[in-house]
Structure 1
Amino acid sequence: MSRPVVGIIGNTSLLNDQYPIHAAGTMNTVAVAQVSGCMPLIVPSDPALVSVDELLETCDGFLFTGGRPNVHPEEYGEAETEAHGTFDRARDALALGLIRRCVDRGQPFFGVCRGFQEVNVAMGGSLYPEIRDLPGRMNHRMPPDGTIEEKFELRHDVTFTQGGVFHDVLGATKVRTNTLHGQGIKEPGARIVIDGFADDGTPEAIYVRGAAGFTLAVQWHPEWDAANDPVSRPLFQRFGAAAQVWADGKRQGLLQSA
């Protein structure tokens, strides 16, 4: 039997500073294939090329990845400033609507870093442009120097709600995570449950209240060393199991209608 298909929502970028590409990090595809047990499919994040309806029918689940571009503040009713950084309006146009449709259908998705922020914005929430500028907050950004291992090393704790969804998935109320983000949740969207916080009060783990499917999203990067990290592995495994349930249901529906 074929594996469930997970659409990986990546970013538009430039290869060698001149050749435009649609890309997703290798660590995302490896985590989906080797830990979630699904077939990774990198999606060109542009509604001029793919439609939400096509993606919903083609894929069994979606991974909304991190990336340098931020969600444009117009998506949550605020004006653009220099602090908001760079943008990918095509990804905004595709990802936000796709998240809403997945919530409505019960189709599973997993949000990571920018994907975490997309989930909040898609549900009506807003973002701070720069967490480190807020009183009492630490700098959550990627260290500018060092090896890739040093940039992704675990840097702060996240504490989850006792008896909450993340406690159930991870079997712990406190875990150690990496941190490589500049923005963060300002106001949570409708039905967004903040289920985990960093020690400085920054929201780090959310899900959509009352959604039928897997809707977990985290502000850190669990795709890093996902097969070996005790926090990353169960998240990707549970996401893969949800995609398998969706795929099985889709196959049964096709068989019943044949």
Structure 2
Amino acid sequence: MTPPTGRPSVPGDAPRPLIAVPARFAASTSALRHEAEVTARALVEAVWRAGGEPVSVHPHAPGGRADAAQVAARLTRFDGILLPGGGDLAPHRYGALDVHHSVYDVDDEQDGFDLAVAQHALRAGLPLLAVCRGLQIVNVVRGGTLEQNMGGPGLDHRHLIHPVTPVPGSLVERAAGTQKIEVSCYHHQRVAEAGAGLTVTARAADGTVEALELPGAPGWFAAVQWHPEDTAHTDPVHQALFDQFVAAAAGRIRPAA
């Protein structure tokens, strides 16, 4: 089945909806020589193909705490938010007392900012697409918990392409236009307990939560544990998720005064 396209038309010099993408801290990049802030090229290209204007946003949360009013003010100009993948969320953020040895790339400032962004997006009804770490961020914002490690080689979902089954009628299923999706994954953690109000709308064969939605949310929202950007350039099923997201953001553009 061909997935429905929600791709907004962007004729001529019409403004593209602005999509905020929180940057990821990187210890080094060869071109920049020093510490950097990065955004995955595949993600921004998927947003661009969908008709959006991806904008990297600096994560600012000194001491791991973001000012909610400041975050809201910074995001006012945007029409949608894409929470990308990245390193692990600090276990204390979801009430874990011990830290598994496999937890990696924890950054307190990154965590504080991402959590505040997700909180604001859900409250304000900004269209929100959350990918991999992004799904886990939303789950924790809603009071959910994570399994710190899925069991190591052969049990985690690193470098794995596998089928997931979306719930019929869910936003993910409607966007994909199919009842079985082959997805590209890279994660060693997963949802343990879903947060308040969140509904599981796709699972893998091993029971891993692969998508979450929030029925009754004021704005468009979908979270997926896989990386749709990995194959969106060749697979319309995965590009359709970005198309639907950007279409929702396009509906929020206010006409110029």
Normalised by the length of structure 1, the TM-score is 0.85
Once the two structures are superposed, residues 187-239 of structure 1 have per-residue CA deviations (whole angstroms, 9 ceiling, x without a partner) of 10001111000010000011122102111011111112323213211100000
Once the two structures are superposed, residues 121-142 of structure 1 have per-residue CA deviations (whole angstroms, 9 ceiling, x without a partner) of 11111101111359xx833013
Counterpart of 1:210 in structure 2 is 216
Describe the SS at the equivalent of 1:92: helix
Counterpart of 1:29 in structure 2 is 44
Q: 1:228 to 1:189 in 2, by over 3 A?
A: same
Bigger helix share: 1
Alignment of 1:5-84 (within 5 A): 5-16=18-29, 19-34=34-49, 36-48=50-62, 51-67=70-86, 69-81=87-99, 82-84=101-103
- 1:114 to 2:133 alignment: yes
Quote the Cα distance in structure 1 between the aligned partners of 2:223 and 2:47. 15
Backbone CA RMSD of aligned residues: 2.1
Counterpart of 1:151 in structure 2 is none
| Match of residue 139, structure 1, among 141, 146, 156 | 156
Once the two structures are superposed, residues 48-78 of structure 1 have per-residue CA deviations (whole angstroms, 9 ceiling, x without a partner) of 59931233212111111111x2111111111
Once the two structures are superposed, residues 98-149 of structure 1 have per-residue CA deviations (whole angstroms, 9 ceiling, x without a partner) of 2112111111111111111111111111101111359xx833013xxxxxxx
Describe the SS at the equivalent of 2:186: coil
The size of the alignment, in residue pairs, is: 236
Counterpart of 1:2 in structure 2 is 15
Opposite residue 9 of structure 1, the aligned amino acid is P
Gaps of 5+ in 2: 1-13
Once the two structures are superposed, residues 142-187 of structure 1 have per-residue CA deviations (whole angstroms, 9 ceiling, x without a partner) of 3xxxxxxxxxxx6210001122222222121211111111111001
Describe the SS at the equivalent of 2:199: strand
Give runs of ≥4 in structure 1 deviating > 3 Å: 48-51
- 1:246 to 2:256 alignment: no
Q: 1:59 to 1:84 in 2, by over 3 A?
A: same
1:2, distance to aligned residue in structure 2 (A) = 1.1
Counterpart of 2:9 in structure 1 is none
Describe the SS at the equivalent of 2:88: coil
Gaps of 5+ in 1: 143-153
Alignment of 1:84-163 (within 5 A): 84-132=103-151, 138-142=155-159, 155-163=161-169
Describe the SS at the equivalent of 1:32: helix
**Is the Cα–Cα contact under 8 Å of residues 9 and 65 in structure 1 kept in the other structure?**
yes
Q: 1:113 to 1:83 in 2, by over 3 A?
A: same
Opposite residue 164 of structure 1, the aligned amino acid is S
Describe the SS at the equivalent of 2:229: coil
**Is the Cα–Cα contact under 8 Å of residues 177 and 237 in structure 2 kept in the other structure?**
no
Q: Percent of aligned pairs with the same residue?
A: 31
Quote the Cα distance in structure 2 between the aligned partners of 1:165 and 1:5. 22
**Is the Cα–Cα contact under 8 Å of residues 132 and 140 in structure 1 kept in the other structure?**
no
Describe the SS at the equivalent of 1:237: helix
Higher relative contact order (CA 8 A, sep 6+): 2
